């Protein structure tokens, strides 16, 4: 049945529009993949201006539950989606830069999340999942891989293992927490005195982590990933000990 939209009160209009859309999602009347009516139709039905409606839609796009495609045609308009990883990563990165969370907070969160994900991946990851993780490790081991590419592959490896654990929320949180310190990790890698040796040492640990997961040795994998994270974060602390959280 078509969704019946009801007018909202004018006070704090865009928040009321958000509330109306959220209520539809909570009630199961709007799901991922559904399209909202065009602005010219939805605004008068809700009893709000198109500018207020656009403001509400921008908020939803920022938090990763809506994508707006401008123009005309079948793909135009606003569509409900599920993109929590990028949205949470942006949010955490901004709050980290503002000093809402310390580097130590991020360290402990990563340790808890990744110990859990590597241990669960040792139980739940499929052979196909682990083959994909191995392909990332192989690419990281290629001679002359640039620091920027290595950092991207490193992030993808850790997030992929989290996804392989079978817990989507753990995967999303792992991705977001890692994303929040990606610039710091990149800067620490770029500052390495001997980058080839640093890359080789990091990838030796990635290789061993993958071996332990394949062998079903979850506790050992959890112990090693904690050591791996704490070692790198120690470098980040050294690199940033004299910086304010928002400094570049």
The CATH number of residue 203's host domain is 1.20.120.530
pLDDT bin (cut points 50, 70, 90) of residue 110 is very high
Same domain, 214 and 100: yes
Which has more pLDDT, 213 or 73? Answer: 213
CA 38 → CA 16, 20, 27, 50, 155, distances in Å?
A: 18, 16, 21, 10, 38
Q: How many domains does the chain have?
A: 2
CA 248 → CA 75, 97, 104, 183, 233, distances in Å?
A: 39, 9, 18, 9, 17
Same domain, 144 and 224: yes
Boundaries of domain holding 48: 13-80
Distance between CA atoms of residues 116 and 102, nearest Å: 22
In a domain? residue 109: yes
Domain boundary among 55, 80, 105: 80
Same domain, 126 and 223: yes
- Pick from 25-34, 169-178, 230-239: least confident: 230-239
Which has more pLDDT, 65 or 112? Answer: 112
Output the pLDDT for position 247.
46
Output the pLDDT for position 240.
58
Domain boundary among 33, 56, 80: 80
What is the mean pLDDT of the segment spanning 30-51? 89
Strands of the chain (E only): list them: 66-69, 77-80
What is the mean pLDDT of the segment spanning 190-200? 92
Average pLDDT along the chain: 86
Q: Which tokens hold the place of 41?
A: 């139709």
Digit-coded pLDDT (tens) for 112-147: 999 999 999 999 999 999 999 999 999 999 999 999
Q: What DSSP designation does 35 have? A: B
Domain boundary among 80, 105, 133: 80
Same domain, 108 and 24: no
pLDDT > 50? residue 243: no
Dihedral sign from CA coordinates of 99, 104, 105, 111: positive
CA 138 → CA 150, 183, 209, 228, distances in Å?
A: 11, 23, 13, 18
CATH of the domain at 50: 1.10.10.10
What is the mean pLDDT of the segment spanning 175-199? 89
Q: Which tokens hold the place of 214?
A: 């394949």
pLDDT > 70? residue 31: yes
pTM confidence score:
0.77
Largest CA distance in the chain: 64
Same domain, 71 and 93: no
Same domain, 99 and 219: yes
Distance between CA atoms of residues 163 and 154, nearest Å: 14
Same domain, 159 and 200: yes
């Amino acid at each position: 049945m078509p969704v019946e939209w009801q007018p909202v009160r004018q006070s704090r209009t865009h928040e009321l529009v958000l509330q109306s859309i959220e209520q539809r999602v909570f009630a199961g009347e709007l799901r991922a993949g559904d399209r909202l009516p065009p602005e010219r139709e939805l605004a008068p039905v809700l009893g709000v201006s198109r500018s207020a409606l656009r403001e509400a839609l921008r908020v939803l796009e920022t938090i990763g539950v809506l994508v707006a495609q401008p123009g005309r045609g079948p793909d135009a308009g606003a569509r409900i989606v599920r993109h929590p990883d990028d949205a949470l990563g942006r949010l955490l990165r901004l709050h980290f830069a503002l000093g809402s969370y310390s580097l130590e907070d991020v360290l402990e969160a990563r340790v808890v999340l990744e110990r859990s994900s590597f241990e669960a991946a040792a139980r739940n990851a499929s052979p196909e999942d682990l083959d994909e993780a191995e392909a990332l490790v192989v690419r990281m081991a290629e001679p002359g891989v640039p620091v920027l590419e290595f950092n991207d592959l490193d992030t993808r490896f850790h997030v992929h293992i989290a996804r392989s654990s079978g817990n989507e929320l753990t995967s999303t949180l792992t991705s977001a927490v890692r994303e929040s310190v990606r610039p710091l990790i990149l800067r620490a890698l770029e500052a390495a005195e001997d980058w080839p040796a640093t890359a080789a040492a990091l990838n030796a640990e990635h290789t061993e982590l993958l071996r332990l997961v394949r062998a079903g040795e979850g506790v050992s994998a959890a112990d090693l990933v904690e050591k791996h994270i704490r070692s790198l974060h120690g470098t980040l602390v050294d690199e940033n000990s004299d910086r304010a959280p928002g400094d570049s």
